[in-house]
Amino acid sequence: MQLIENLKVKERVYKEKLENGLTVMIIPKPGMKKKYMIWGTHYGSLENEFVVPGEEKPTVVPNGVAHFLEHKMFEQENGTNSLDVLTALGVDANAYTTNDHTAYLFECTDNFYEAMDELMDYVQHPYFTDENVEKEKGIIGQEIGMYDDSPEWKVYLNAMNAMYHECPVKIDIVGTIETISKIDKDILYKCYNTFYNPSNMVMVICGDFKPEEMLEEVKKRLIDKKANGEIKRIYPEEPETIVQEKIEQKLEVSQPLYTIGIKDTVQNNCNQNKSDLVKKHIAIEILLNLIMGRSSRLFQKLYKDGIIYAQPGLSYEFTNIYAHVLIDGQSSNPEMVYDEFKKEVKNLRENGINEQDFERTRKMIYGGYVKEYNDVTDISRIFLADFFKGINSFDYLDEIDGVSKEYTEQVLRQVFREDRMVLSIIAKNENKG
């Protein structure tokens, strides 16, 4: 097994790529009672057109298949539901679908191996019938209705639609009533057989385990399945421009919600040096905290004036086909938040970053990275998500010292461009009530 070590946080990751292509990462936590296992596939809502290994023609599937498939994986041929089985074992089990991956997981203190049996069994044995697929459409239809009524989800999705012309990141992960109506068991089996191949998956296990012994436990539970060839993923061309600067929708909210988005240039992230991607991500985190973080001048001013009520969410999301900055929260005046944000960006561009503010913010972000290693859930999810980006999560700890004030100012000029900014607002529906 390959040992990847970080002396700063005194953490070790043991990594092995098996003959069938599955990558297993084991993170030992001696003395810790909590245990965590997550098994993910590099398959999310972005994959709606692809060429199956061994085929020549592209396969096109309806929006929402990855999420639909995640829902169906728990149902077993013997009539049981694996989520119920895991809950009965006293473990906290779940699954989720993102834009670029789907993951199945559980957390526990006891019954780890029984839970491992169940998780590895249901992920490797899909069971789809015409009947159970039709039944699921009703369940997911209700979920779609809930998302349609969710102001937090709509303000995000509207921001995506304001930024992106063609990129499938603008598509709702759950699909629509219309798109899921076209899903059948054949589509599900085709997508499962294509994307749930071990060579497209990674497993992360964190807890008080001996790595070599745990690897043998994983191997014992794997069915005989060969690695398949590379899946050719087909995405539409995406212009660098935004679609529209502002988008507003009225819903039942006590206070307006906002999302400020900044569309970034991808520059083919999959071929870019991974340490450059990590350094850019760190620089953007520093900038977001300098501009809108809890101790920033702008946050203090807006909070004192009653314009915002809490620190906004600050994030940078990226894959090899999209990248964007997001700032989101509640405000009595989202337009003012947006205008003040743009002014602060302009001020930093023109006058530069204060050295002391920069150092303080960089230390705070480093402290946040270190803190994540105290939690088995955080560590496991981070390593899984970063793996699909081609990144070793330890790189964030190693690269942060190399992120200078000058480099961060360069990223500010390149990324925080006004012509790439959008504002999504969910306003109060004054007509109702």
Residue 241 lies in a domain: no
**109 within some domain:** yes
> Do 202 and 223 reside in the same domain of the chain?
yes
Residues 345 and 208 in one domain: no
Residue 42: partners with Cβ closer than 8 Å, 6 or more residues away = 100, 101, 195, 200, 201, 202, 388
Residues in the chain: 433
| 319 shares a domain with 223 | no
Mean pLDDT, the chain, whole residue set? 94
Tell me the whole-structure pTM to 2 decimals: 0.93
Examine the domain organization and report whether 66 and 213 are in the same domain: yes
Say if CB 330 and CB 256 are below 8 A apart: yes
8, 354 in Cβ contact below 8 A?
no
pLDDT tens-digit map of 393-426: 999 999 999 999 999 999 999 999 999 999 999 9
CATH number of the CATH domain containing 229: 3.30.830.10
Which residues are paired to 4 by β-bridges? Answer: 13
Model confidence pLDDT, tens digit, residues 263-297: 999 864 445 678 899 999 999 999 999 999 999 99
Binned at pLDDT 50, 70 and 90, residue 149 comes out as confident
CB 286 within 8 A of CB 316: no
Concatenated DSSP letters for 135-199?
HHHHHHHHHHHHHHT-HHHHHHHHHHHHH-SS-GGGS-TT--HHHHTT--HHHHHHHHHHHSSGG
Q: Is residue 138 part of a domain?
A: yes
Query: Is residue 240 included in any domain, yes or no?
Result: no
Assess whether 183 and 312 both reside in one domain.
Answer: no
Q: How many domains does the chain have?
A: 2
pLDDT level of residue 146 (50, 70, 90 thresholds): confident
268 and 173, same domain (yes or no): no
Boundary (domain end) residue, out of 233, 261, 290: 233
Alpha helices in 293-422 (DSSP H): 297-304, 334-351, 355-372, 376-388, 395-399, 405-415
**38 φψ region: left (φ > 0), alpha (ψ -120 to 50), beta (else):** beta
**Which range marks the domain in which residue 413 is found?**
246-428
DSSP designation for 264: P
What percent of the chain is predicted at pLDDT more than 90? Answer: 91
- Hey, what are 13's tokens? 């990751």
Q: Using the 3D structure, point to which of 233, 268, 299 is the last residue of a domain.
A: 233
Contact 369, 398 (CB under 8 A): no
In the three-class reduction of DSSP (H, G, I as helix; E, B as strand; rest coil), residue 373 is classed as: coil
For residues 218 and 281, state if they share a domain: no
Question: Catalytic: which of 47, 70, 118, 238?
Answer: 70
Question: Rounded CA gap, 317 and 328, in Å?
Answer: 13
In a domain, 239, yes or no: no
Query: How do residues 367-400 score in pLDDT, each as one tens digit?
Result: 999 999 989 999 999 999 999 999 999 999 999 9
70 is a catalytic site residue: yes
Name which of 45, 48, 47, 29 is nearest 37 in CA terms: 29
Domain shared by 222 and 252, yes or no: no
Residue 57: inside a domain, yes or no? Answer: yes
User: Do residues 63 and 195 both lie within one domain?
Assistant: yes
List, edge to edge, every strand of the sheet that includes 232-233: 59-60, 49-51, 232-233
Cβ(104)–Cβ(95) under 8 Å? yes
In a domain, 238, yes or no: no
Beta bridge partners of 81: 75
Query: 57 with 102, same domain?
Result: yes
- Encode 102-140 in three state secondary structure: EEEEEEECCCHHHHHHHHHHHHHCCCCCHHHHHHHHHHH
Looking at residue 145, what is its pLDDT?
Answer: 84
pLDDT at 148: 83
376 and 35 in contact (C-beta within 8 Å)? yes
- Interatomic CA distance for residues 116 and 322, integer angstroms: 34
Report whether 278 contacts 395 (CB < 8 A).
yes
User: Per the domain annotation, does 177 fall within a domain?
Assistant: yes
Residue at which a domain ends, from 207, 233, 259 = 233
Both 184 and 302 in one domain: the answer is no
In three-state secondary structure terms, 29 is coil
Residue type, 331: S
The neighbouring-strand residues paired with 92 are 107
Whether residues 44 and 157 fall in one domain = yes
Residue 30's CB: how many other CB atoms inside 10 A? 8
